[in-house]
Structure 1
Amino acid sequence: MSVRMAPPLPLIFLILIHGVSSANWVVNYRHSHICALKDSSVIMSCTYTYPTGYKIKKAFWTKNPVQGVEPPDLSEDPEYSQRLQYLGDKQQKCTIRLSHVTQKDEHTYYFRFTTNVTDGKWTGNPGVTLTVTDLQVEAPERVTEGDSVRLTCKSSCTLTDRATFIWYRNSQPLTERRDRNNQLLLQSVRREDAGRYSCALHEHTYISPPVYLSVTYPPKSVSVSISPSGEIVEGVSVTLSCSSDSNPPAEISWFKGGTIVGSGRIYNISNISSDHSGEYKCKSINELGKKYSDAVTLNVM
């Protein structure tokens, strides 16, 4: 008959301790990945548990731990000490707030705690990976008056917190353009819609670099002025100016009656004579259309 021997007492003790450790050393992170806006504050939420009977000696956050090296406490790091606030306790909560984040803060962060037992230390995996993004406005360089255009406020990653977007034109907020959608739709664009557009998030200080939106349109408000005004006598110099509003800039042609006599916004007549009397008008033309001014009469005394 064979006799089965009981394992030595020390071995039983080690098995029990291992069983307790694997079941009770836990760190739970609310988000394993966080995408945050540049210069904002980030909340890294977590909870932790440990075996009954243990007492917490130190609880802190660290980054990029190296195997075999005791991880540093970020609250003691000059780069973090003024920006990091521990919101947890020495029982269950281990949440922190990191303010004024930049791309330099893109790391994986871990919560770690030590207890009153020599080997009672724990670093929570997988940690929290932080990505920091800025905002960029994506828009066409130019759009024609009357068309619709869509501007997009883009980030390099999907923001973790639900965001409300704010739009600016020429540094002034478009108060009616506040939406959870990151797009700005301009329907039936007008000349007044041209300008520098930027975007931001509600309750955040960071504003994207501006992007200029150009609105093109055919010539409008074409008119002619004469200098000097009033009676004109032979021998003087006369200047006719053509005023036109257009985008892109228009080419100007001058007509006396039905005959073209010059080009450019300014038409000069030196040593004027009675032969120059007549009706003058200018034509403004660009790639989108053309428009004539009303005729003006030049009487030479």
Structure 2
Amino acid sequence: MVMSIRMAPPLPLIFLLIIHRVSSAGLGVSYSPSHICALKDSSVIMNCTYTYPTGHQIKNVFWTKTKDKKETEEFPDLSNDTEYSQRLQYLGDKQKICTIRLSHVTLKDSHMYYFRFTTDKDKWVGKPGVNLTVTDLQVASPERVTEGDSVRLTCKSSCSLTDRATFIWYRNSQPLTERRDRNNELLLQSVRREDAGRYSCAVHGHNLISPAVQLNVTYPPKSVSVSISPSGEIVSGDSVTLICSSDSNPPALNFSWFKGGTFVGSGRIFNISKISSDDSGEYKCRSINEHGEKYSDAVTLNVMYPPRNVSVLITGSGEIVSGDSVTLICSSDSNPPAEISWFKGGTFVGSGRIFNISKISSDDSGEYKCRSINEHGEKYSDAVTLNVMCELTII
């Protein structure tokens, strides 16, 4: 009979396997959370606990990170690194807590971080570690919007912030306390030109403020007006400039001028050299950009000038007979209206536009003229002759 003999493994080998499994199972590091997204210049807490087998004695504990290309040491101790030594605070112990605080984090601090400890019998690096991503804030916004549009601005980060964030918005460095925001977005409904400005965002409880982004609100011409230079009284012969002002975005480049309803010129400035009474009237300008047009209110040019076209009209026609009533009327074109004086020969005989002679006699015969005068000048009419006929009495 053939006997089958099953050989058992050597006892020392079984013992060694059991010891390794126990030893491996007893060493460990736990992180909570294992992924952290933090704002630049904030402080980060990396919560950490570790375990090791009973009977082991802790010799050394420190934190390390993924090795940079320039580093030669496989697991550098961050407390010896000048970039970390002043900012790293160990909050743990040599028993089971290995939490640290890293202050004033920068974008360069984005790494995988590990806790490492050594006992009198083993060395251990807690992998996978804590993945720290440091982010700044950026405002995403359209560069240009039109008045009346709805605009959404977003406060963006390169990762989702680990801590619950309450976002704050600023326009021109002033907080927008009247706004109600949804998460990290600012909604401007029916945007107005007053909403234009430099927008930035921040997270409540942090000092970091994003770079400001300019929001440009475009709109059609508004507040179109005309100014007159020089101001004050305008006298015939003066040079007068009309200037059209317009609030619009983009700035209006098309300006037109109208006298009454008639087109008279283009450009923001309309100049009249040697103005005359014919230029008197109502003027307005029209401002146009790509979003619309608007007319100014009318302004009136009232041109002052001295008397002209002075003449005398004799009422009635035909022969003037002694005893008749005769009226002389002085006509004058001037602005402002002129004062009228009457002269017979060189002698002043009366005032007013109408000069009346009732029951005229031969003594009233002669040359008459009127003088028209205002603050800008005077002018005489040509002389008219009154030839009074005597009525013959038949006996």
Tell me the TM-score normalized by structure 1.
0.91
Query: 1:86, CA displacement in angstroms?
Result: 1.0
2:103 aligns to what? 99
Q: Is contact 1:139-1:151 (8 Å) kept? A: yes
Q: How does 1:1-301 map to 2 (within 5 A)?
A: 2=5, 7-9=10-12, 11-64=13-66, 71-117=75-121, 120-177=122-179, 179=181, 181-250=183-252, 251-301=254-304
Structure of greater Rg? 2
Query: 1:279, CA displacement in angstroms?
Result: 1.1
Q: Is contact 1:39-1:206 (8 Å) kept? A: yes
- In 1, distance between residues paired with 2:179 and 2:100? 33
Q: Secondary structure at the match of 1:175?
A: coil
The verdict on how the C-alpha distance between 1:274 and 1:5 changes in structure 2, with shifts beyond 3 A counting, is closer
Query: 1:6, CA displacement in angstroms?
Result: 7.0
Q: Is contact 1:37-1:159 (8 Å) kept? A: yes
Query: 1:299, CA displacement in angstroms?
Result: 1.2
2:357 aligns to what? none
The verdict on how the C-alpha distance between 1:20 and 1:180 changes in structure 2, with shifts beyond 3 A counting, is farther
The verdict on how the C-alpha distance between 1:184 and 1:41 changes in structure 2, with shifts beyond 3 A counting, is same
- In 1, distance between residues paired with 2:20 and 2:275? 109
Q: Is contact 2:181-2:187 (8 Å) kept? A: no
- In 2, distance between residues paired with 1:240 and 1:129? 69
**1:132-188 Cα shifts (integer Å, max 9, x gaps):** 222111111122222211111111222222211111111111124475601100112
Name the aligned partner's letter for residue 156 of structure 1.
S
The verdict on how the C-alpha distance between 1:21 and 1:140 changes in structure 2, with shifts beyond 3 A counting, is same
Name the aligned partner's letter for residue 288 of structure 1.
H
Name the aligned partner's letter for residue 26 of structure 2.
N
Q: Is contact 1:148-1:188 (8 Å) kept? A: yes
Name the aligned partner's letter for residue 10 of structure 2.
P
Query: 1:263, CA displacement in angstroms?
Result: 2.2
Gaps of 5+ in 1: none
- Which gives a bigger RCO, structure 1 or 2 (Cα 8 Å, sep 6+)? 1
The verdict on how the C-alpha distance between 1:283 and 1:52 changes in structure 2, with shifts beyond 3 A counting, is same
- In 1, distance between residues paired with 2:49 and 2:158? 29
- In 1, distance between residues paired with 2:74 and 2:247? 71
User: How many pairs were matched up?
Assistant: 297
The verdict on how the C-alpha distance between 1:93 and 1:176 changes in structure 2, with shifts beyond 3 A counting, is farther
Q: Is contact 2:152-2:185 (8 Å) kept? A: yes
